[in-house]
Structure 1
Amino acid sequence: MIDTHVHFWNFDPARDSWITEEMNAIRKDFTPKNLIRTFNELKITGCVAVQANQTENENNFLLRLADQNEIIKGIVGWVDLKSKNLEERLSYWSSFKKIKGWRHVLQAENSAFFLSDDFVSGVKNLKKFNYTYDLLCYHDQLPDIIKLVDKVPNQPFVLDHCGKPNVKSQDLKAWAENIKNLAQNPNVYCKLSALLVEADWKNWKEIEIFNCFDVIFENFGPNRVMYGSDWPVVLLSRPYIDWFNLVSKYASKCTIQEKENLFLNCASSFYKLESQDLL
């Protein structure tokens, strides 16, 4: 099994200002050593490490961790997609095979940023290097995210955290309609991740999460959905194992093949993880 969405960091209160005082549970360092015991207990064989800092130094940090820790099977890094020398940077990073794709924190940007010609052009450059792109956005940004993916045919995208629906309010109608529209693009996958963070951290109900899962599976189907935890951010609500067990409970109605797709095959195919590394 592969967890397609984990973060590692050496906490810096100035740099990591998004981790506010109310997020005290994650205002500290998190390394693969903090995760390995849980992975062993759950028989999770590896993870995809996703950028949490928007500098190219983040790529070097994650590559060093990957060299030292076998559980990191792939990396989603950061690069300036608007840069005039983007192709040169992508060519440079392409020699590091653990880097599978890129992400920018689009939830912190407006549509003028990610629908701009230079950003769209940057995303178009990814295909020639066989890179994926992770879409991180809030539910109310989905209409513009749909416009973005439609501008870049044949680029593999994955929607992080189901597009961050408003789990807490259960106001899901507009989100569900946008998910339906986005999923019509066969090049877009979805990560089943992080919904506890979008819920009432301490008082969420299982049905609130499962209502969102229903929409995702109905639209993306069993072949374009992949498991992710968003660890350590998930710790704001519950221990890692609680999220894993929640996803596993929902998946209990799935066929064996569909479970394999959710926990392994979709991730392996999308991120082009090496088969020998998955053992």
Structure 2
Amino acid sequence: MLFDTHLHIVDRRALTYPWLAGAGELNRDSLYEDYARDAMRCGISNVLHMEVDVAPERIEDETNYVREVSRHPDCLVRGVVAACRPEDDGFAAYLERSLGDPFVKGFRRVLHVAPDDTATRPLFRENIKRLSATRMTFDLCVFPHQFETILALVDQCPDVRFILDHCANPPIKSGMSDVWRKGITEFARRSNVTAKISGVIAYGDLENWSVDSLRPFVEHTIEGFGWDRVVWGSDWPVCTLGGGLTPWVAATHALTAGCTPEERDKLYQANAKRIWSI
């Protein structure tokens, strides 16, 4: 069974997504019901919803929307990784409210769409440090040119549990780069970082990717972090750009075919259950 740590629900009737206007094929509703049919057929048994960069004033509305979805019979959603703005003065109060809400499992601020200096700002770093020794994780969604800045953030917050999304967005289509390869190695040296095996089919040739084209990037990530510090995610609906949920699940099984049952179980579900206490 698979624990999907990275589902996006998009409902334009309920919430506001400023970025969608420039998102091409993703500028559409992507509802839980559309995801669930394939997810259950693929053996997905638990899901975390990943924030979808809604308008800042709708951040808490997004959490409440997903909470209502999770109450539907047989829903797979167990919690949310909520959006946040650690660069803003209101983060401390928002964190306190969220700590009282067991449905919120962690936070994410998409940094590759923010100014590159966002993670260097004193208030941002001070607020991320507030997550130290809490149950909250912080997802990192960054591009390779930001690695140095983000590694410095991780080093300044050694008691915060970071999740590195999408194998750190590797340059699959253009080929392995030293910046990405060495960056993964550096992130893996930080024991407070876990890597998420997700999103990679969106960085390859969308129409012609293959398991072999993904393998060097996935294997380098897992080799660096080890089986105890990797989790799996679908990145639905972004994965539909490269064929959809079912091909990505099939690729995941192919990529791990030579691994032991214990290793596969750690990646597929056990590590996620442990990290988020589910």
How high is the TM-score relative to the length of structure 2?
A: 0.91
Distance change (3 Å), C-alpha of 1:220 and 1:122? same
1:245 aligns with 2:246: no
Alignment of structure 1 residues 94-133 onto 2, 5 Å:
94-133=99-138
Deviations 1:108-128 (A, max 9, x none): 123321111100111111125
- 5+ residue gaps, structure 1: 274-279
Amino-acid identity (%): 24
Alignment of structure 1 residues 1-279 onto 2, 5 Å:
1-11=2-12, 15-18=17-20, 20=22, 23-24=24-25, 26-54=26-54, 55=56, 56=59, 57-68=61-72, 70-273=75-278
In the TM superposition, residue 77 of structure 1 has moved relative to its aligned partner by: 0.3
Deviations 1:208-263 (A, max 9, x none): 20010121011011111111110001101112110001011111111111011011
In the TM superposition, residue 94 of structure 1 has moved relative to its aligned partner by: 2.0
In the TM superposition, residue 81 of structure 1 has moved relative to its aligned partner by: 1.4
Distance change (3 Å), C-alpha of 1:166 and 1:123? same
What is the CA–CA distance in structure 1 between the aligned matches of 2:223 and 2:133, rounded to whole Å?
A: 32
Equivalent residue for 1:277?
none
In the TM superposition, residue 272 of structure 1 has moved relative to its aligned partner by: 2.1
The 3-state SS of whatever aligns with 1:46 is strand
Deviations 1:152-177 (A, max 9, x none): 01110000001101100113222010
Moved more, 168-177 or 152-161: 168-177
The CA RMSD over aligned residues, in Å, is 1.8
The 3-state SS of whatever aligns with 2:186 is helix
Contact 2:236/2:244 (<8 A) preserved: no
What is the CA–CA distance in structure 2 between the aligned matches of 1:252 and 1:227, rounded to whole Å?
A: 15
How high is the TM-score relative to the length of structure 1?
A: 0.91
The 3-state SS of whatever aligns with 2:47 is strand
Aligned length: 271
What is the CA–CA distance in structure 2 between the aligned matches of 1:16 and 1:254, rounded to whole Å?
A: 42
What is the CA–CA distance in structure 1 between the aligned matches of 2:222 and 2:21, rounded to whole Å?
A: 31
What is the CA–CA distance in structure 2 between the aligned matches of 1:36 and 1:163, rounded to whole Å?
A: 26
What is the CA–CA distance in structure 2 between the aligned matches of 1:175 and 1:40, rounded to whole Å?
A: 34
Counterpart amino acid of 2:30?
Answer: F
In the TM superposition, residue 18 of structure 1 has moved relative to its aligned partner by: 4.2
Contact 2:166/2:196 (<8 A) preserved: yes
The 3-state SS of whatever aligns with 2:208 is coil
Distance change (3 Å), C-alpha of 1:217 and 1:126? same
- 5+ residue gaps, structure 2: none
Deviations 1:129-186 (A, max 9, x none): 4210000011221121111101101110000001101100113222010100111011
The 3-state SS of whatever aligns with 1:186 is coil
